[in-house]
Amino acid sequence: MKIGGRSLNLDLKQIELIAAIGDSRTLSAAAIEVGLSQSAASHALAKLRREIGDPLYVRTSVGMQLTPHGQTIARAARLSLLTLRQGIEHSGPFDPRQSERSFTLYMSDIGQTVFLPPLLAHLGKHAPGLSVRVSPIPTQYPGTSLESGDVDLAIGFFTNLDAGFRQRYLFTERYVCVARAGHPAFEAGMSLEAFHSVPHAVTTSSGQGHQRLERILKQQPMRGRVMLEVPHFLVLPFVIAKSDLMVIIPRQLAEAFARLAPILIMDPPIWIPTYDIRVYWHERFHADPANRWLREICHDLLKPDPG
């Protein structure tokens, strides 16, 4: 290994030893932890000091302490060992019933509402030790965390995950109009006149599908007056159920909220294109057993009902 133009000859026991010293702060306890005799540990530490060019671990008035450089190396050693262990654990067959792995996903607030309930129900039955974390989708470069492995999958509508990424179709989504049940403007159903006369609620969500929708609606010369703007979709159906506003949202979200609030779901009287929901992952993790298992679960839970 070369660092700063200087060759280092470190072995795994030395790395384990400095990490253990950082945790226990005693050479004898560190030796026991890594399976070395006291003399072997002393010899390994002496060799490590020569290689690094720093005492690493010195006697002070409060006992033996790591030097600042020793603290830096101990932290790096712990992180390296953790990465190595995780790599070894994840390289073998993946058993969801025994795994305690945590998966991180990119999903919009709509995706969370639609997908998290069936996913958590499935995990509770078939993979009780697994956990899920949903990470906010960055407005720029969402692929960076997928490439590094900090995020396992992205689920939704993305137009900026192309080179180096794989994807799989889940289902096609379309937009619908939603208003409260009993709204007088929609007694006979949706009409172009009602669409233009009823005040609208909108969201300022940064989702790529929503941005495309807003571009289309801005081209409508007689769109209804925007009376309410909110930052997220999730509050809108509850507001709609208690007001005379209408809103345009994805059908899956509308159907989820129809089970919670008295709302009407109607096809829009103008053309709004559909869009495909897909699961995305980086090429680096295409053969990873855990990632592959999660992708299959996503497909099975979200694929269109053949009936």
Q: What pLDDT, on a 0 to 100 scale, did the predictor assign at position 207?
A: 56
Q: What is the mean pLDDT of residues 106-110?
A: 88
Q: Are residue 150 and residue 282 in the same domain, yes or no?
A: yes
Residue 85 lies in a domain: yes
What are residue 265's phi and psi, to 5 degrees? -115, 120
Q: What is the mean pLDDT of residues 216-241?
A: 78
Last residue of a domain, one of 91, 111, 131: 91
- The domain spanning residue 137 has which CATH number? 3.40.190.10
Residue 55 lies in a domain: yes
Tell me which of 10 and 295 has the higher pLDDT: 295
Three-state secondary structure call for residue 132: strand
Tell me which of 304 and 196 has the higher pLDDT: 196
Is 268's pLDDT higher than 90?
Answer: yes
- Determine how many CB atoms are found less than 10 A away from the CB of residue 170: 20
Q: Are residue 134 and residue 214 in the same domain, yes or no?
A: no
Q: Are residue 35 and residue 158 in the same domain, yes or no?
A: no
Residue 97 lies in a domain: no
Q: Are residue 283 and residue 233 in the same domain, yes or no?
A: no
- The domain spanning residue 80 has which CATH number? 1.10.10.10
Q: Are residue 14 and residue 133 in the same domain, yes or no?
A: no
Task: Give Dmax (Cα) for the chain.
Answer: 89
Is 256's pLDDT higher than 60?
Answer: yes
Burial class (CB in 10 A: 0-12, 13-18, 19+), 87: exposed
Residue range(s) defining the domain that contains residue 46? 2-91
Q: Are residue 283 and residue 251 in the same domain, yes or no?
A: no
Last residue of a domain, one of 27, 58, 91: 91
Which tokens is 249 given?
């949202």
Distance between CA 277 and CA 263 in Å, rounded? 24
Question: Across all residues in the chain, what is the average pLDDT?
Answer: 84
CB 174 within 8 A of CB 272: yes
DSSP 185: G
Q: Are residue 197 and residue 134 in the same domain, yes or no?
A: no
| C-alpha 196, offset from chain centre | 38
Q: Supply the DSSP string of 20-54, one letter for each residue.
A: HHHHH--HHHHHHHHT--HHHHHHHHHHHHHHHTS
pLDDT tier, 123 (very low <50, low <70, confident <90, very high otherwise): very high
Q: Are residue 268 and residue 280 in the same domain, yes or no?
A: no
Is 200's pLDDT higher than 60?
Answer: yes
Q: Are residue 168 and residue 179 in the same domain, yes or no?
A: no
Residue 215 lies in a domain: yes
Last residue of a domain, one of 66, 91, 116: 91
Residue 267 lies in a domain: yes
Q: Are residue 155 and residue 282 in the same domain, yes or no?
A: yes
Per-residue model confidence as pLDDT tens digits over 15-69: 888 888 877 778 888 888 788 888 888 888 888 888 878 888 787 776 678 888 8
Q: Are residue 149 and residue 288 in the same domain, yes or no?
A: yes
Residue 307 lies in a domain: no
Q: Domain count of the chain?
A: 3
Distance between CA 47 and CA 130 in Å, rounded? 42
Q: Are residue 207 and residue 160 in the same domain, yes or no?
A: no
